[in-house]
Structure 1
Amino acid sequence: MEAIIYKWVFIFLLSCWLMFTVSYSVEGLHGDSKVRGVNLGGWLVIEGWIKPSLFDGIYNGDMLDGTEVQLRSVTLQKYVSAENGGGMDVTVDKDIPSSWETFRLWRVSDSEFQFRTMQGQFFTFNGEGNSVTATAESPSAMETFYIERYNNDRIHIKLQSGTYLQTSIANRITADYPGIPGWDDNTATFEMTIVSNDLHGDYQLANGYGHAKAKEVFKKHRNKFITIEDFDFLHQHGINSVRIPVGWWIAFDPNPPYPYIGGSLEALDNAFTWAQAYNIKCIIDLHAAPGSQNGMEHSSSRDGLTGWPTSQDYISQTLDVIDFLASRYASHPALLGIELLNEPSAANVPLDVLTSFYKQGYQIVRKYSTTAYVIVCQRIGKADPLELLQANIGPSNLVVDIHYYNLFDNYFVNMSSKDNIQFIHKSRETQLQALNSANGPLVFIGEWVNEWNVTSGSEKDYQDFGKAQLEVYDEASFGWAYWTIKNDRKHWDFEWNVRNGYLEIIGYGHKLRSSFTNFLGLSCCSFLLLIIF
């Protein structure tokens, strides 16, 4: 009877051991059970803050696509305003500027621009002598104006015919200034204030330089920013995966739509070759969708507006891109998974629209692979962390990507170093445990960084912060990926952090699992010995 009991106890413990080791195992990794990855950000999808020097050679570089400006008449001392935010007249009668007085630039050349209102309409005119209105739904020659600058703040606005705009005594803008204005206080002179020029993505870079020059800039960047030596470095420091952001235009290589520059597909092919050479797995991440899913530069938004969720054409185009990527890379031995969309906006992308897209994307990937992981990214902003785990997107090898930054939120502004570290251990770890135990998809910390809002953090503080994140994020059932491999801001730069001792990757990933599995293994062996003897 005792022998039977021992046998059943042994079987129970062995089952527990196997369940523990398998439940958090990611298929296809070489010698590891979870993803320990790094993002190749700023390479195939441009983010100007990662490498600002890319934009240094652009003339009028502070007037790229999406730059927000306000205009004030120097004679009337009033601001130009699009009534009702667009769709009506343009007046010059506001003392204090707000959203109706703020316009987004669309850049046609280094001196030609179009003005887009808050509601999305463009400045237009119906012949010389008539008033300018904000009623055009899409821009053409009638909505294109030359801007002449003086000391960067004073401007003249000219039609293609050569006629200048001026303010009238009726507080309108008319296309009938006589002759060529000087830079004194005259009715054709405006003061231009740049409110924001935060967008520095692929669209701004390519359109800012123009196609010929941009082709040179992009080719040099893609060839030098990430190389095979970087994969060697990652392999040597315990990294088994890379998450590679790509833009929707990659599906049209080598001749993507204007202004995008071909060559990103060749670079992605190179990354897969290098990854295979070093036993590193690749996650393809669709970072930028047609029309922009969040209005940010990393979604290649032209002007900060989010058009992706409001257009079925955009969603269909995105699914076509997923089909292209899945069909091309599904059989490649270096592929680990495909992320269907990066950081959709909770404010602009309804959950039902997003989950419908994710379900369709999941099925597309499954056409080409039964094992590739399909990764769905959580909405950014105010979104329920559990919403995608309960969405029933697909039955197998599904992963939910959540991004953890102790930044971009006023909650973190006044936190000390100790507060930030406690937040990782208490809040992040608790949430991660809840997500892991939700009996749904695997959980992936697809972006995190060893940076915070602390201005006086010491080297030891940063080391402790990095250590806390590594310990906690390693509990994610799929794994984690650092943002990003290289960056002009040193604490965002993975290579800099590792070389300078701020992050120690090797040794993480197995501590908790090893101790627990060793305990169970020893227990099983002990019971087996009892049975034998």
Structure 2
Amino acid sequence: MGIIHRSMLASCSLMVLLLLPRLSHSSADGLSEKVRGVNLGGWLVVEGWIRPSLFDGIPNRDMLDGTEVQLKSVLLQKYVSAIDGGGGNVTVDKDVASSWETFKLWRVSEWEFQFRCFGGQFLTSNNGGGPVSAAANSPSESETFYIEKNNTRIHIRLSNGNYIKVTEGSALMVNYQGEPGWDNNDATFEMTIVYNLHGDFQLANGYGHDIAEEILMDHRRNFVSSQDFAFLSQHGINTVRIPVGWWIAYDPDPPAPFIGGSLAALDRAFAWAKIHSLKCIIDLHAAPGSQNGMEHSASRDGSISWPTPDHVSQTLDVIDFLAARYANHSALLGIELLNEPSAALVPLDILVSYYTRGYQIVRNYSTSVYVIICQRVGNADPAELYQANIGTSNVVVDLHYYNLFDPYFDNMDVTGNIEFIYKKRVPQVQALKSANGPLVFIGEWVNEWKVANASRSEYQMFGMAQLEAYEDASFGWCYWTLKNARMHWDFKWNINNRYLLLGSSSIRKPELLLLCWLACAIILMQIG
């Protein structure tokens, strides 16, 4: 191998030290022990990627609420476009599709849809017969269209039987009569699905209330069980973070299309936690109007309207309901006021005002329950919440750390990912710990990355680096998530298959030495 330079030895020694788990970690003030938790994601707030089979029985399931589509005339070979993103004319004259040429579906039935434009308006037929425009601010019968589909080709018609067609002047008219074929005619369009959502709204509105209720009752009864709580307790986990949706406050009959029953499931979780000596964090994952437009916020179509006063007020009512019901339960550790508000569309002043009022609501019921506030997702510095003076006691800031969802990680190798944990994440956690403010909580992280074909030992090293970094957080950490269709996101799979080794209680000394030597070998090969 040749001469090993001092710098190479230094890098190797550093990696060994970084990968050796500490034997103990001090607890945060007021905590008997730091949180070592697991999220119950995909249980009481649906996320289709966690359990895709929930959506298998929905008819025409590739066209659910919020599905983004682009329509191309097969005759003109041009895209349908809402000029200026909506509010006026619709043309069929664009060679390339972008935001003005993308429409979000609102599903009325299996084959009836409304088309929402980029600016929020809806395509409208003006009662049929005339041109189609994008001038409707809210949908009704004139904005509802029937879609006939033949693979990726579609026809669009009104309830009166007339079809939409393109004109030589690149307009859309509702005056095609008769039955158009599937050749290159003026009433046939090519539909491209750009993006879709699979959350609570999509599931409930896709199945309809009765079938959705049956599906969700079975899911809530079986996806998470008392045996899972026993498993967690046996493997050193002391807390579960439980995402809930705002409609839980309206059980058993929440507003349509949401389905009741999540409150009874949450009650069961608290009972299981008490039996197995676990603590619970209630996490408001989905707020009315959606705080981030993602499916896990139960958004209908990806839009965000949470920051409006009415929705903020309604959300505070939900916090009041949860605090009143669980504040004195021995298993409650904390209430998280909102999950992942959008940095782009949720102004900091509105968020701070909400957090401050939410903190006071929780304090009305308990002086000791931890009030957890989540950093904004996107381009936002978590330090902004340390400067906000939300409350005076037992306040926690939740950070979510993933080596994913950003092109920065696309070509990063094993060593790069591990170095990122220590060079970027550790200093941030330490800086926030010393900020003389709220406690630090890594409320979501996962033993997954963008490294292709990584070995089990490489996953183990990555997981050990994260555990070492996040156990330094003053409040603790919580893995995302207990169960998942994707293996490395599944905590139980990671533990059972030893892809994630939970510190000295889960790893034998020979394995630790082997991992450290593997880390050395990786560094030496890359340097030399």
Q: Could you tell me how far 1:302 is from its partner in structure 2? A: 0.9
Is residue 71–residue 79 contact of structure 2 (8 Å, CA) maintained in 1?
yes
Distance of 2:504 and 2:320 partners within structure 1: 38
SS in structure 2 opposite 1:470? helix
SS in structure 2 opposite 1:282? strand
Q: Deviations over 1:415-455 (max 9, x none)?
A: 11111111112211111110111000101000000000101
Is residue 27–residue 34 contact of structure 2 (8 Å, CA) maintained in 1?
no
* Correspondence for 1:520: none
Tell me which amino acid in the other structure corresponds to 2:177.
Answer: P
Q: Could you tell me how far 1:227 is from its partner in structure 2? A: 0.5
- The 5 A counterparts of 1:111-510 are 111-151=111-151, 153-197=152-196, 199-309=197-307, 311-505=308-502, 507=504
* Correspondence for 2:48: 48
User: Which stretches in structure 2 are left out of the alignment for 5+ residues?
Assistant: 1-23, 507-528
SS in structure 1 opposite 2:383? coil
Distance of 1:508 and 1:397 partners within structure 2: 29
Q: Could you tell me how far 1:361 is from its partner in structure 2? A: 0.3
Is residue 471–residue 508 contact of structure 1 (8 Å, CA) maintained in 2?
no
Tell me which amino acid in the other structure corresponds to 2:254.
Answer: P
Sequence identity, in percent?
67
94-103 vs 430-439, which moves further: 94-103
Q: Residue 24 of structure 1 is aligned with which of 18, 25, 28? A: 28
* Correspondence for 2:514: none
Q: Could you tell me how far 1:25 is from its partner in structure 2? A: 3.7
Larger radius of gyration: 1
SS in structure 2 opposite 1:101? coil
Distance of 2:480 and 2:216 partners within structure 1: 21
Distance of 1:360 and 1:395 partners within structure 2: 13
Distance of 1:330 and 1:410 partners within structure 2: 41
Distance of 1:143 and 1:82 partners within structure 2: 14
Tell me which amino acid in the other structure corresponds to 1:425.
Answer: Y
- The total of aligned residue pairs comes to 483
Q: Deviations over 1:12-68 (max 9, x none)?
A: xxxxxxxx99872443xxxx5211100000000011111111111111111111111
Is residue 285–residue 297 contact of structure 2 (8 Å, CA) maintained in 1?
yes
Distance of 2:184 and 2:451 partners within structure 1: 46
Q: Deviations over 1:103-143 (max 9, x none)?
A: 11111111000000000000012222111110111111111
* Correspondence for 1:9: none
Q: Could you tell me how far 1:502 is from its partner in structure 2? A: 1.6
Q: Deviations over 1:227-280 (max 9, x none)?
A: 000000001000100000000011111111111111000000000000001110
Distance of 1:38 and 1:209 partners within structure 2: 30
For residues 421 and 506 of structure 1, do their structure 2 counterparts lie closer, same or farther at Cα, with a shift above 3 Å needed? closer
State the TM-score, normalized to the length of structure 2: 0.90
Is residue 27–residue 33 contact of structure 2 (8 Å, CA) maintained in 1?
no
Distance of 1:39 and 1:428 partners within structure 2: 20
Is residue 155–residue 189 contact of structure 1 (8 Å, CA) maintained in 2?
yes
CA RMSD in angstroms comes to 1.5
State the TM-score, normalized to the length of structure 1: 0.89
Is residue 27–residue 475 contact of structure 2 (8 Å, CA) maintained in 1?
no
Distance of 1:392 and 1:35 partners within structure 2: 23
Tell me which amino acid in the other structure corresponds to 2:234.
Answer: Q
Is residue 25–residue 471 contact of structure 2 (8 Å, CA) maintained in 1?
no
Tell me which amino acid in the other structure corresponds to 2:132.
Answer: V
* Correspondence for 2:103: 103
Is residue 86–residue 119 contact of structure 1 (8 Å, CA) maintained in 2?
yes
Q: Report runs of 4+ in structure 1 exceeding 2 Å deviation.
A: 20-23, 504-509
Tell me which amino acid in the other structure corresponds to 1:40.
Answer: L
Distance of 2:30 and 2:337 partners within structure 1: 19
Distance of 1:359 and 1:434 partners within structure 2: 23
Q: Deviations over 1:477-518 (max 9, x none)?
A: 000000000001111000011111122226479xxxxxxxxx
Q: Could you tell me how far 1:306 is from its partner in structure 2? A: 1.2
